[in-house]
Structure 1
Amino acid sequence: MVDKDYFGESKVVEFKREIPKKHEKFLKDIIAFSNCSGGKVILGIEDITNTVYGIEEENPFKLSDDISNMVSDACIPQIEPDISMKTIEDKTVLVIDIVPGKFRPYFLKSKGKETSTYIRINGTSRPADQRKLHELELEGQKVSYDSLQDIGQEYNEEKALRLCRTMEQIAIESCRTEEEKESIKKMTIEKLEDFGLLCRVGRDLYPTHAFMLMTDNRFKYAKIQCALFKGITRDIFIDKREFDGPIYTQIEAAYQFVLKHINLGAEIEGVLRRDIFELPIHAIREMIANAVAHRSYLDDSTFKFLFMMIE
């Protein structure tokens, strides 16, 4: 027996005892890894039991060439797997390593983009929906949704300069020493453009989606919902809040919501008393900030931050 952790998390590994007769079942995992964060298909291990069978009597070199040709011929854009041999429990398995693709979306040439663009969800490969397909297309063009022009909105210099001052002030407030404060550079319109908050069409400046998220934020689903439940089910609310407005204010509001509902203890050192939260507060802020920064704003869904109070 072999554990999947030997090769990594299940989201980035797939076991196959052999290549299925219907090659699509094999190829969809290759495509899904290319469209996401990459992964490995391990040929010669049964998925359900994790039993190592190896590739048995097959010539591993010929099989590697056959797999490379199959993937190259069937997938578009072309995928180039890196195939190596490993010995586990005295048996030979093939490790088909797929890196994250640069020219997304990847799909089956015979079935077309709309129906055979697969993505990885936990430990399974699933067809991408229209929203995810659009996101993959933007990624393939090296374009993010946040950096696209917010069509219909005009550039407002006063609003842009106000955002510059706000960003500069937040940076200064986060500094711990005077030396750090002195190192903060002045925020300018040019830097907003460098950060993708503003874009140019010809010679004219226009706000991007990111600019709108950081200022007016009129996007219906760009908000955070926080909830605290009693016990280990979601039956009884103790507290719930919804935060909208610029996303940096949402992050702070969600952070304060969590601090309000976690226990606060104390550590005594001599005559000094230091308050300590039961959870690491820097990790809480980082978790919320990462969730907001990395969510897809193409999604028509609100970011929800939920936690339980167990009594």
Structure 2
Amino acid sequence: MQPILTDTSLSTLIAQGENNAVEFKSALVNPDSLARELVAFANTHGGVVLLGVEDSGDITGLPNDRNHEEWVMNIARENVIPALDVTVTQVIHENKTVLLIQVPKGRDKPYQTRKFQFLIRVGSTNRVATQAELMRLFQQSGVFHYDLQGVEGTSMRSLDLRKLADYFLKYDIDFEQEDDRERILINTDILDESGRATIGGMLIFGINPQRHLPNASISFAHFAGHELDDELLDKQVIGGTLDIQVDTALAIIKNHIRQPSRIEGSRTVDQIFQYPDKVFRELLVNACVHRDYAIHGSRIRVFMFDDRLEFISPGRLPNTVSVEKIKLGVSYGRNPVIVKFMENMRYIDKLGRGLPMVYRTAVQAGKQVEFMELGEEFRVILAL
């Protein structure tokens, strides 16, 4: 194996110290200890293990007593469950060998050690995932869908029966005349098997969703400037079912956005570029449909500044989805119940065309649009 990382790059990496993406390991590390590092990185955002570097940053190198690349690969396959693919690169520093082990953000989360420990990376250390964190790991892998969970204290009485009747009428079902309405709602994932409204059912058909899901809402703020500490012109919290949230937030954005125009003959002509409504609508729908509702302490936020709009949604992208893939139309279904109903209500399609449309519209107008993950949030920044 030929070295592909330069000595200078290695020194730069070591100079950063151990952090949320870099870990130093001595040549004396045992397989279980190394497996813990691989598991923690794979369950979080990926990272790099430098094998042959002490905690102090001193490079002590690796002995010639084994094929270290093969040894690392075996640990990744046999001491990590499920098996993990890592990339190993050899670097020579002053006649000392260091292995750079690149651990990707795992595709098959959650990973665990042979001792059944689910670990995550926090800063420069690893710790056992809490129950809530473990649940989100399962959700990211597609094994578990949070919007299918029943909401405590709810029942069919928590749902808007008129809205349900209108919805089912589109499919030639006279819901009000059905003998076993509860079974219909269970079969369509609006209720769970115990008769509680599911999170998805509550957010689409609930009478007052925020009574049980207080942060399943949109917070809108308009600032007179470019920063969060500039004068706050308006602030609103938008509740209700997701379709109402989208429609209300869209109306608020249109009411606040600058629309300078002039009169030419009998026509009113915009003096600056105006995004079509479908752009704002898509960003609102995307945030509502794909946010991580398992994160209880945060709302969707829409921030309006003089030069941009920011749409901030709780939750990182699922395992196999990246920011670049989203631009090309790769879609994902963190909340399949919500996706199903919002699609049937004509708020979305499942072809992944929404965010690429936003990207093309902005680029064609000479405007910047940025998709990014920041902490446990997904953010879209749209230049005005």
TM-score higher than 0.5: yes
Aligned residue in 2 for 1:303: 299
Tell me which of 258, 265, 276 is aligned to 1:263: 258
Deviations 1:287-306 (A, max 9, x none): 22222222232333241424
Deviations 1:98-157 (A, max 9, x none): 46354x5434455x64xx520589x99776444223333566792322112334433359
Tell me which of 229, 232, 239 is aligned to 2:234: 239
| Structure 2: distance between partners of 1:126 and 1:287 | 35
Aligned residue in 2 for 1:196: 189
Q: Which runs of 5+ in 2 are unaligned?
A: 1-7, 10-19, 54-58, 92-96, 176-182, 308-384
Aligned residue in 1 for 2:120: 118
Write the letter of the residue equivalent to 2:71: D
Percent of paired sites with the same residue = 22
The answer to whether residue 38 in structure 2 is matched with residue 30 in structure 1 is: yes
Tell me which of 62, 87, 107 is aligned to 2:67: 62
What is the Cα-based RMSD across aligned positions, in Å?
Answer: 5.0
| Structure 1: distance between partners of 2:127 and 2:275 | 36
Aligned residue in 2 for 1:229: 223
Q: How does 1:1-311 map to 2 (within 5 A)?
A: 14=21, 27=35, 30-35=38-43, 39=46, 41=48, 62-72=67-77, 74-75=79-80, 78-84=81-87, 96=102, 98=104, 100-102=106-108, 104-109=109-114, 113=117, 117-118=119-120, 128-136=129-137, 142-155=143-156, 159-160=160-161, 162-163=163-164, 165=166, 186=171, 196-200=189-193, 206-214=196-204, 215-216=206-207, 217=209, 218=211, 219-231=213-225, 232-234=227-229, 236-265=231-260, 278-279=274-275, 281-310=277-306
Write the letter of the residue equivalent to 1:258: I
Q: Is the CA contact (8 Å cut-off) linking 1:35 and 1:101 kept in structure 2?
A: no
Change (3 A) 1:186 1:269: farther
Write the letter of the residue equivalent to 1:264: Q
| Structure 1: distance between partners of 2:48 and 2:241 | 42
Deviations 1:269-297 (A, max 9, x none): 99866657545643332222222222232
Q: Which runs of 5+ in 1 are unaligned?
A: 3-12, 47-52, 169-184
Write the letter of the residue equivalent to 1:136: L
| Structure 2: distance between partners of 1:263 and 1:28 | 53
SS for the counterpart of 2:279 is helix
SS for the counterpart of 1:242 is strand
| Structure 2: distance between partners of 1:270 and 1:43 | 70
Q: Is the CA contact (8 Å cut-off) linking 1:117 and 1:133 kept in structure 2?
A: no
| Structure 2: distance between partners of 1:149 and 1:85 | 44
Q: TM-score, normalised by structure 1?
A: 0.61
Q: TM-score, normalised by structure 2?
A: 0.51
Q: Is the CA contact (8 Å cut-off) linking 1:198 and 1:208 kept in structure 2?
A: yes
Aligned length: 268
